């Protein structure tokens, strides 16, 4: 190994508290007290000296030792439950990406570290929490029943995002959405536009419980009008893109006038597919989404959808988690963040001329 390399290695050697103490001519305990702002336990003079050496040596603690010493890592685990499929990852979904961005920002800001993982295996989550002594956990789309197992197996504060639970008489810290109301309002709107023959497309396997609740909102709106929305109007989209495109094409032979998607992305995909086939939207089909992601206003026609504040969901989840981590007692409530119907241009009034799209940037 050439000398220049070993010189670099020397720079790299990480100073420890012990070394800092030696340089400062004090004990490791004193250095530790300085590091922790234990001003009462150290004189200003030594404090200053130690601080100078600390800065000069570019001291950085060894988290391994810290974990070992008091079993917390300052790591917040962010886990997205999903079945792995083909070449699409769940992280790249615009919803996921937006909320992950918000979480990263807040975790960083709070002085914690973020460990990201996707899995469909609760045992893996438990293992992760234990081996890393995670300080907190944010769990997305946990299937019913699984949340209980996780909470019972670990000692870590947990906040769920977008989860629905079995009737096990137990409460969870959850940040969710007014899914029922979202479905209800969208259905009311579609009904008001004259649509009766509606198909609802679930969010592939991504939102256990939630899609059903949204569909429940649709049904409620229908029954309020004395109409029925049969269960076979709830359709699971295939995971495979080609299969989805085939499904969209086959809809052209059907009688539905409106297609309600439980995610903007698939709505956009379907619209593009129809347009590529020369089928005009919303002339042939009215199409609606859910979430109001960043792209729903960029596609044409602009997508009528159910708006939610995605980044805010992440911020709320983290604020809650931080409180739990501080040991505050927070009542377990299933928070349902508000939704708002966002009417744009992808739904047409039946038996009426097309509406003029809105203007303005």
Partner DNA sequence: CTGTTAGCGCATTCAA
Partner DNA sequence: TTGAATGCGCTAACAG
Give the three-class secondary structure for 234.
strand
Residue 156 sits in the site that holds DNA (CB under 7 A):
no
Burial degree of 276 (CB within 10 A; 0-12, 13-18, 19+):
exposed
Residue 70 sits in the site that holds DNA (CB under 7 A):
yes
The interface partner of residue 42, options being a second copy, DNA, none and the CB cut-off 5 to 8 Å by kind, is DNA
Residues 106-125, interacting with a second copy (CB under 8 A) = 108, 113-119
Q: Which of 4, 12, 40, 361 binds DNA (CB under 7 A)?
A: 40
Alpha carbon distance 319, 138 (integer Å): 11
**Is the Cβ–Cβ distance between 222 and 191 less than 8 Å?**
yes
Interaction pattern, residues 47-66, with a second copy; x per rule: CB under 8 A: -----------x-xxxxxxx
Residue 275 sits in the site that holds a second copy (CB under 8 A):
yes
Question: Site size for DNA, by CB under 7 A?
Answer: 29
Give least dist CB 221 to a second copy, A.
28
The interface partner of residue 256, options being DNA, a second copy, none and the CB cut-off 5 to 8 Å by kind, is none
Give least dist CB 20 to a second copy, A.
14
Give least dist CB 144 to DNA, A.
32
Q: Which of 25, 101, 166, 338 binds DNA (CB under 7 A)?
A: 25
3-state helix, strand, coil in the chain (%, to 5): 45, 15, 40
Residue 266 sits in the site that holds a second copy (CB under 8 A):
no
Residues 49-68, interacting with DNA (CB under 7 A) = 61-62, 64-66, 68
Residue 152 sits in the site that holds a second copy (CB under 8 A):
yes
Burial degree of 39 (CB within 10 A; 0-12, 13-18, 19+):
exposed
Q: CA nearest 274: which of 236, 238, 247? A: 247
Give least dist CB 49 to DNA, A.
9
Alpha carbon distance 260, 214 (integer Å): 10
Strand order in the sheet with 234-236: 234-236, 198-202, 258-261, 286-288
What are the DSSP calls for 128-188, one per residue? HHHHTT-SEEEEESPPTTHHHHHHHH--S-EEEES----SSS----EEEE-HHHHHHHHHH
Q: Which of 110, 245, 256, 341 binds a second copy (CB under 8 A)?
A: 245
Residue 11 sits in the site that holds DNA (CB under 7 A):
no
Residue 32 sits in the site that holds DNA (CB under 7 A):
yes
Give least dist CB 42 to DNA, A.
4
CA of 196: how far to CAs of 76, 188, 189, 193, 254, in Å?
46, 10, 11, 9, 13
Q: Which residues bind DNA (CB under 7 A)?
A: 14, 16-18, 25-30, 32-33, 35-36, 40-43, 45-47, 61-62, 64-66, 68-70
């Amino acid at each position: 190994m050439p000398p220049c390399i070993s010189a670099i290695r020397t720079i790299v050697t990480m100073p420890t508290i012990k070394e800092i103490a030696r340089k400062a001519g004090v004990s490791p305990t004193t250095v530790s007290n300085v590091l922790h702002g234990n001003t009462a336990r150290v004189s200003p003079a030594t404090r200053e000296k130690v601080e100078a050496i600390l800065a000069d040596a570019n001291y950085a603690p060894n988290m391994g030792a810290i974990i070992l010493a008091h079993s917390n890592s300052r790591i917040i685990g962010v886990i997205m439950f999903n079945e792995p499929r083909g070449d699409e990852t769940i992280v790249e979904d615009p919803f996921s990406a937006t909320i992950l961005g918000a979480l990263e920002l807040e975790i960083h800001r709070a002085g914690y570290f973020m460990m990201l993982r996707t899995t469909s295996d609760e045992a893996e989550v438990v293992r992760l929490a234990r081996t890393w002594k995670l300080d907190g956990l944010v769990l997305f789309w946990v299937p019913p029943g699984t949340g209980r197992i996780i909470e019972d197996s670990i000692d870590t504060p947990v906040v769920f995002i977008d989860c629905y639970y079995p009737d096990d008489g137990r409460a969870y810290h959850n940040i969710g959405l007014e899914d029922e109301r979202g479905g209800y309002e969208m259905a009311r709107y579609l009904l008001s536009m004259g649509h009766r023959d509606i198909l609802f497309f679930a969010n592939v396997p991504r939102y256990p419980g939630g899609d059903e609740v949204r569909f429940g909102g649709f049904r409620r709106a229908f029954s309020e009008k004395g109409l029925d929305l049969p269960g076979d109007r709830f359709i699971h989209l295939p995971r495979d893109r080609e299969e989805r495109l085939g499904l969209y094409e086959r809809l052209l032979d059907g009688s539905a006038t409106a297609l309600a998607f439980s995610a903007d992305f698939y709505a956009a995909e379907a619209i593009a597919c129809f347009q590529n086939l020369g089928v005009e939207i919303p002339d042939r089909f009215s199409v609606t989404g859910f979430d109001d992601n960043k792209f729903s206003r960029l596609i044409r026609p602009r997508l009528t959808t159910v708006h939610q504040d995605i980044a805010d969901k992440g911020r709320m989840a983290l604020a809650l988690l931080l409180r739990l981590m501080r040991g505050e007692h927070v009542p377990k409530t299933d928070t349902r963040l508000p939704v708002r119907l966002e009417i744009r241009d992808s739904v047409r009034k039946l038996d009426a001329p097309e509406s003029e799209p809105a203007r303005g940037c």
